[in-house]
């Protein structure tokens, strides 16, 4: 599973969502307060929930929900979903800059992450997502963040006002 970017228009921008950041935002190693992303949100006092605003372009999911009475109108709900998952390029860019700034001011952030601390997860899941503390300590995390900032900046320069996040 990985994140990908969906700009409103095609650009010449390199747009590969950095795999390490994808892993980070997937909330592996636990959910809620156990997720690495949640731990950093609390530690740095920042809201990164924008990265959980995922666009699903498969209308059949909405049709299935309509079929089982979970929603009334699949077409209407899909339109609402499409609108709700639009992210202002400027908003994402600003959030990423704030996040990077907070990380740089808190250089020891990696030491505060508790990996695999959710004992309710099965051992197989905790083994599947082993601690990757070096990713955070060796600067790769910040490099990936810089790469994403560069992509979003390229979108801005090419007139992309909105984008979506996909996850597959």
Residues whose CB is less than 8 angstroms from the CB of residue 123 and which lie 6 or more positions away in sequence, other chains included: none
The band of 116, judged by pLDDT with boundaries at 50, 70 and 90, is low
pLDDT of residue 123: 52
Instruction: Say whether pLDDT at 164 is over 80.
Output: yes
Q: What's the predicted TM-score (pTM) here?
A: 0.86
pLDDT tens, 4-40?
Answer: 999 999 999 988 999 889 888 886 555 567 778 888 9
**Among 22-26, 70-74, 163-167, which stretch is predicted with the lowest mean pLDDT?**
22-26
| Mean pLDDT within 87-95 | 98
Position 35 scores a pLDDT of: 79
Exposure letters 23-52 (e unless 16+ CB within 10 A, then b): bbbbbbbbeeebbbbbbbbeebeeebeebe
Distance (Å) of CA 126 to CA 120, 133, 141 = 10, 14, 21
Closest CA to 160 of 82, 97, 92, 84: 92
Q: Which residues pair with 60 in a beta bridge?
A: none
CA distance 27 to 32: 8
**Residue 126, pLDDT score:** 46
27 or 101, which is more confident: 101
pLDDT digits (tens, 9 = 90+) for 38-65: 889 999 999 999 999 999 999 999 999 9
pLDDT digits (tens, 9 = 90+) for 121-138: 555 444 444 456 788 888
Residue 94 phi/psi, 5-degree rounding, is -60, -45
Backbone angles phi, psi at 127, to 5 degrees: -75, -35
Give the model confidence (pLDDT) of 139-158 as tens digits: 999 999 999 999 999 999 99
Residue 162 has pLDDT above 60, yes or no: yes
């Amino acid at each position: 599973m990985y994140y990908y970017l969906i700009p409103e228009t095609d650009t010449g921008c390199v747009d590969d969502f950095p795999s390490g950041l994808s892993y980070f935002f997937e909330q592996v190693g636990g959910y809620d307060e156990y997720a690495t992303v949640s731990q950093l949100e609390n530690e740095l006092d920042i809201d990164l929930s924008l990265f959980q605003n995922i666009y699903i372009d498969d209308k059949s999911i909405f049709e299935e929900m309509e079929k089982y009475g979970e929603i009334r109108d699949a077409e209407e709900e899909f339109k609402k979903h499409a609108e709700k998952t639009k992210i202002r390029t400027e908003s994402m860019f600003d959030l990423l800059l704030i996040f990077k700034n907070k990380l740089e001011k808190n250089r020891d952030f990696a030491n505060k992450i508790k990996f695999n601390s959710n004992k309710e997860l099965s051992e197989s899941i905790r083994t599947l997502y082993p601690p990757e503390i070096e990713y955070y300590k060796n600067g790769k995390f910040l490099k990936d963040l810089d790469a994403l900032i560069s992509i979003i900046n390229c979108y801005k320069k090419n007139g992309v006002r909105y984008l979506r996040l996909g996850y597959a």
